[in-house]
Structure 1
Amino acid sequence: MQFETKFTIVVAEDLPMWQKLNVVSFLAGGVTKSEHVNTGKQYLDSEGNTYLPLCTQPIIVLKAPRNKLPTFIQRAKKDQTDVAIFIDDMFYTGFDEANRKTTELYTSEKLPLVGIAMCTDKKIVDKIFKGAKLHD
């Protein structure tokens, strides 16, 4: 199936694996609230048990050096593209309200970014995340 949009997450390549997984899961949750992301119907097993619906398109996970992440934010702002962010401080807060307060401490140029995600037109995603590599 072909999709007109691309759902992509970029994580800082130097993070420990547990932090990468944490960043990816939080960012995926944020982007699923975007108008560009569709979720399917509930899943059903042979006994009639239901399970939550999933995103209907693949999610691409990329990696990049931390110092490249602000460039991606600037490109997204220039294209007026909505993004989800995760900053280093969020590993130490423990809840959503505190996470939001940490981002308010920084200008967009100074955010200690460790992850960025978006879902929008494929060409825009490719342009914004140019330089990131497929995560292995």
Structure 2
Amino acid sequence: MQPDTAPVRFDTKIAVLLRDDLLTWQRLNVTAFLVSGIGTAAPEVIGEPYEDASGQRYLSMFRQPVLVFEGGEELLRSAHERAIGRQLPVSVFTSDLFATANDRDNRAAVRAVATDKLDLVGIAVHGPRNAVDRVLKGASMHH
């Protein structure tokens, strides 16, 4: 049996939108935290475990690409509003989370601020490709 070599197309998209003024370490940290929420909320996006030719097993990862975008504070706020309005699964990272060191304090920091007052530095969203594209309208690919 020959392996299937046809390109794989996904009906859904996983995307991260980062505020464009973050330091490199912040971008990496925020992205890692944000996508962990997508994997727990949508387990179908997780592929099978990996194994190398020696039989060493590795953890599963997303089965589709994660696209990373950037934009200004206002774009991030609008994308957040659009994601919520479309009832898409969304994870958030606020500037307050840079000062916390654990999940309990992270959740408390978000809980303490109203939705429209969150100082967002990043969001991740998962959903139908066209819906995610509309949420991210105006954002550019991270470089």
The SS at the match of 2:138 is coil
Distance in 2 of aligned mates of 1:113 and 1:37: 27
- Cα shift readout 1:41-91 (whole Å, capped 9, x = no counterpart): 111122211100110000000001122211111111211112000000111
Distance in 2 of aligned mates of 1:29 and 1:4: 20
Distance in 2 of aligned mates of 1:68 and 1:47: 47
Amino acid across the alignment from 1:96: D
Match of 2:115 in 1: 108
Q: Give the TM-score normalised by structure 2.
A: 0.91
* Aligned-pair CA distance for 1:118: 1.0
Match of 1:93 in 2: 100
Choose which of 55, 62, 87 in structure 2 pairs with 1:55.
62
Unaligned runs of 5+ in 1: none
Amino acid across the alignment from 2:137: K
* Change beyond 3 A, Cα 1:27–1:97: same
Residue 37 of structure 2 is aligned to residue 30 of structure 1 = yes
* Aligned-pair CA distance for 1:36: 6.7
Match of 1:73 in 2: 80
Percent identical: 35
Distance in 2 of aligned mates of 1:46 and 1:2: 27
The SS at the match of 1:33 is helix
Match of 1:15 in 2: 22
Tell me if the contact between 2:69 and 2:142 (Cα under 8 Å) persists in the aligned partners: yes
Distance in 2 of aligned mates of 1:89 and 1:134: 25
Distance in 2 of aligned mates of 1:80 and 1:45: 39
Q: Give the TM-score normalised by structure 1.
A: 0.95
* Aligned-pair CA distance for 1:9: 0.3
Match of 1:44 in 2: 51
- Based on CA coordinates, which of the two structures has the bigger radius of gyration? 2
Number of residue pairs the alignment of both structures matches: 136
Unaligned runs of 5+ in 2: 1-7
